Structure 1
């Protein structure tokens, strides 16, 4: 009998651990789903739990024997998770860190979503704040994004100074880009991973700066490559908006439509600004001016 004591002791510990694990899963109201665990996702889960004052649990797509319908809400983090999600559930599903294109493609699945990219209208307004409201701006887009770009341009002040250049064939990129740069004083990029691919962005930047034309956007990821400026939403901004969406949805059954994040920051490439002899305003002042412009589209910031 003494020889069996270690076995029964280990078994008791295992049973206790499993019961605790099951209990933790059963009381978690919010599930945040990732492809793999990362510190950023763990911080988001912690912030959501604190902000809503209800438990949250970080899970991966590979986790087995999860009763997804037991959660009050499920948050999918990133496009790979959104694209791979095939689990039927009655729980409301929200997506974050996903593009507008991906979220709209799976809109039937989602109660709400926060787009990862900044809206083009915000990038255009930033360009006007930095360069002047009468500066002519060119927007280079692929045909697939032309209609949505036109909708965004219609939201900004003095839209007559903004020109859209649709591109149906990437083989015509150089010709269209040269035409845009000849007729405009800056290029505003859109969130299009094919058009603004690593292979194309180098050519776009070199061609633009040869003519002393800055690139604004398409996102803060391009700042290091040589973009002059961009708006972006950091983890705190995403957390703040996600807490608002979940709170309204869970408490009042009012789920916000999928949209761009209203909370954001501004980032500059100071070296590019100096090379173009530009005096850039304080980033906090730029954020305030952008927020004012978005609050009232009919007033100049």
Structure 2
């Protein structure tokens, strides 16, 4: 009986130790969660919706939003914070301090980053690009306009740096980049020159060239010359260009979810979202005598092409 009693007590003690260990692990779980701070200069409905969506996606983390005006200098934030900037004023504020927590920057274009950083990289900042990848846009052209070979590209002083990369991506696709400087948006002659020498116009995400003031001239000239305009973004497709690739809020939340699962030391210096969609304008396609863009099918083919080594 004595041996049986000792064995029973030993078994019970083992169970208690295991239960205590489990309780300790459960109480220690929050140590694995992250403090995620989102900020922007404007605290609008869209920003709040994005912050709430991220919080719902990562319930184990502590996700908060604080307006930029209410934040201290970046170096005074806790080092273990994971900072997410949602607009350009936030980036300008962050760049004033070489110290501070690891930072993800959303809603920034290649041109906007180039204006602020040039070719340098901030060691604590990762840039998540808002404009479509140039290679993806070129492959979109080959998918919906297979006969197009001469790709007309308007550029300005701020966007000229993108031309070498465009040529690099165009060559393997058998495409020729036809660049045209447009340094005076009130002068239509560069447009006419470019249209005469191109099969399609690819818009760069340069707000000096593609904006509400220039849209009418660009689009009417495109229709008059029967020359499609692809890009520069989903908004311009709604205004009257033929098609573009783009990433929406769900795509960006997916990017953030994956990055936040990894230590900030493993974050890339810059990144395009892996997931994306295609938007086309059926009315524009009809006016140019082209087939309507099958958005889902084209997006699938582009994604499959990017997955190939």
- TM-score with structure 1 setting the length: 0.80
1:11 alignment counterpart: none
Q: Pairwise mapping of residues 42-191 of structure 1 onto structure 2 (< 5 A)?
A: 42-52=48-58, 53-63=60-70, 68-69=77-78, 71-85=80-94, 86=96, 89-104=99-114, 105-106=116-117, 107-108=121-122, 110-132=124-146, 134-156=148-170, 158-167=172-181, 169-170=183-184, 173-191=187-205
Query: Whose radius of gyration is greater, 1 or 2?
Result: 2
Deviations 1:234-280 (A, max 9, x none): 00111111222222234xx3012213222211111111111112113
Question: Matched residues in 2 for 1:64 and 1:171: separation?
Answer: 39
SS at match of 2:42: coil
Task: Work out which of the residue numbers 23, 35, 39 in structure 1 matches 2:41.
Answer: 35
Q: Deviation of residue 159 (structure 1)?
A: 4.3
1:258 and 2:264 matched: no
SS at match of 1:74: strand
Q: Deviation of residue 65 (structure 1)?
A: 6.2
2:257 alignment counterpart: 243
Q: Deviation of residue 93 (structure 1)?
A: 1.2
SS at match of 2:240: coil
Question: Matched residues in 1 for 2:139 and 2:272: separation?
Answer: 15
SS at match of 2:159: helix
Question: Matched residues in 2 for 1:137 and 1:168: separation?
Answer: 16
Q: Is the 8 A contact 2:282 2:293 kept in 1?
A: no
SS at match of 1:224: helix
Question: Matched residues in 2 for 1:192 and 1:249: separation?
Answer: 33
Deviations 1:197-239 (A, max 9, x none): 3222221111111011111111111122211111111001111
Q: Is the 8 A contact 2:132 2:233 kept in 1?
A: yes
Q: Is the 8 A contact 2:170 2:176 kept in 1?
A: no
SS at match of 2:66: strand
* Higher RCO (CA-CA < 8 Å; seq separation 6+): 1
The structure-2 alpha-carbon separation of the partners of 1:290 and 1:153, relative to structure 1 and needing over 3 Å to count, comes to farther
Q: Is the 8 A contact 1:119 1:152 kept in 2?
A: no
1:233 and 2:247 matched: yes
- List runs of 5+ in structure 2 lacking aligned partners: 1-32
SS at match of 1:223: helix
Corresponding pairs, count: 269
Q: Which consecutive aligned stretches of 4+ in structure 1 deviate over 6 angstroms post-superposition?
A: none
SS at match of 1:195: coil
Q: Higher mean Cα deviation, 125-134 or 92-101? A: 125-134
1:291 and 2:303 matched: yes
- TM-score with structure 2 setting the length: 0.78
1:269 and 2:281 matched: yes
Q: Deviation of residue 187 (structure 1)?
A: 0.6
The structure-2 alpha-carbon separation of the partners of 1:138 and 1:159, relative to structure 1 and needing over 3 Å to count, comes to farther
Question: Matched residues in 1 for 2:275 and 2:200: separation?
Answer: 25
Question: Matched residues in 2 for 1:43 and 1:172: separation?
Answer: 39
